Structure formats: structure tokens, C-alpha cells
């Protein structure tokens, strides 16, 4: 017995739509959230608010100063990518230029890696901690 061609087309469409994406190795949104640096000797902090979709990461960065009022020192546009627990971000600050972060997700709430500022461009180790919602 032969099935009607419209039924066959619908069945094929449904099968194609329910297939998982064989390329994606990480779920979307795994680095979505607000992240901040741990305490540094100066008392300053960097906060990243990230959105993760497929392999792309976008967001904003903010550097806050020292003191009780913790003034906002600079803002950045964040772009980058995430795959296989590795994150690479470029933060384009208004005043400080482009900063790069390359690291790994070492737990569900810790991004650890290397932070490189422009001139002199000496890399330093940094960790970002996810803030609870």
C-alpha cells in the first residue's frame, strides 16, 4: 500500500524538525548572566552582563572604582564566543581600549582565564564569578 505523498512530506518534515543539532556541543545560554571579578587589592571590580546564543556571546562590561560609592569608571561592549567550555571575549571600552579575556568555564559559576589590557599588554590571571539571579 502506498501512502499519499502529502502524508510522506509531512512525516519527513516532522522528522527533520525533531533532529538534534549535530554541530552544537554546548547548550545555548550556559554563560548567560552577570559575572564579576573577585576582590582585588585595590577594591575595584569588573562586572560583565552576558547573553549566550549558539556559539556567540554579547553583552556589556562595567569597571567600578574604589570606595563606598564605587563609581562607574568605564563601560565596554562585549563580543566573543563560547564552545567546549572555552570562552573568548573582546571588551571594547570607551576610555581604556580593547581588553581580551580567554578562559574556561571551570564550574557552573566560575570563568577563569587570562585578561590582557592594551599597552603594555601584560596578561594577568582573573576569575569571574556568576552572580545569583
Q: Are 46 and 63 a contacting pair, CB within 8 Å? A: yes
pLDDT single digits (tens) 35-84 = 999 867 777 899 999 999 999 999 999 999 887 778 899 999 999 999 99
Q: What is the pLDDT of residue 125?
A: 92
Q: Are 103 and 86 a contacting pair, CB within 8 Å? A: yes
Distance CA 28, CA 46 (A): 24
Query: Three-state DSSP class for 15?
Result: helix
Of residues 95, 92, 62, 94, the one with CA closest to residue 78: 92
Kind and range of the H or E element at 92? strand 86-93
Query: Three-state DSSP class for 49?
Result: strand
Q: What is the pLDDT of residue 28?
A: 65
Whether pTM exceeds 0.95: no
- For 24-130, the fitting CATH number among 2.40.128.20, 2.60.40.1180, 3.30.9.10, 1.10.10.60 is 2.40.128.20
The whole-number average pLDDT for the span 110-114 is 96
Selected residue with higher pLDDT from 18 and 104: 104
Distance CA 89, CA 28 (A): 16
The whole-number average pLDDT for the span 89-103 is 94
Amino acid at each position: 500500500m502506498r501512502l499519499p505523498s502529502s502524508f510522506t512530506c509531512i512525516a519527513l518534515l516532522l522528522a527533520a524538525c525533531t533532529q538534534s543539532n549535530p554541530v552544537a556541543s554546548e547548550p545555548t545560554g550556559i554563560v548567560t548572566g552577570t559575572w564579576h571579578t573577585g576582590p582585588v587589592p585595590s577594591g575595584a571590580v569588573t562586572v560583565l552582563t552576558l547573553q549566550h546564543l549558539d556559539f556567540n556571546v554579547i553583552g556589556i562590561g562595567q569597571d567600578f572604582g574604589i570606595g563606598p560609592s564605587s563609581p562607574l569608571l568605564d563601560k565596554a561592549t562585549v563580543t566573543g564566543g563560547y564552545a567546549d567550555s572555552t570562552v573568548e571575549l573582546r571588551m571594547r571600552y570607551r576610555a581604556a581600549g580593547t581588553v581580551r579575556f580567554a578562559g574556561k568555564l571551570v564550574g557552573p559559576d566560575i570563568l577563569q582565564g587570562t585578561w590582557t589590557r592594551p599597552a603594555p599588554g601584560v596578561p594577568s590571571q582573573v576569575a569571574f564569578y556568576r552572580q545569583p539571579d
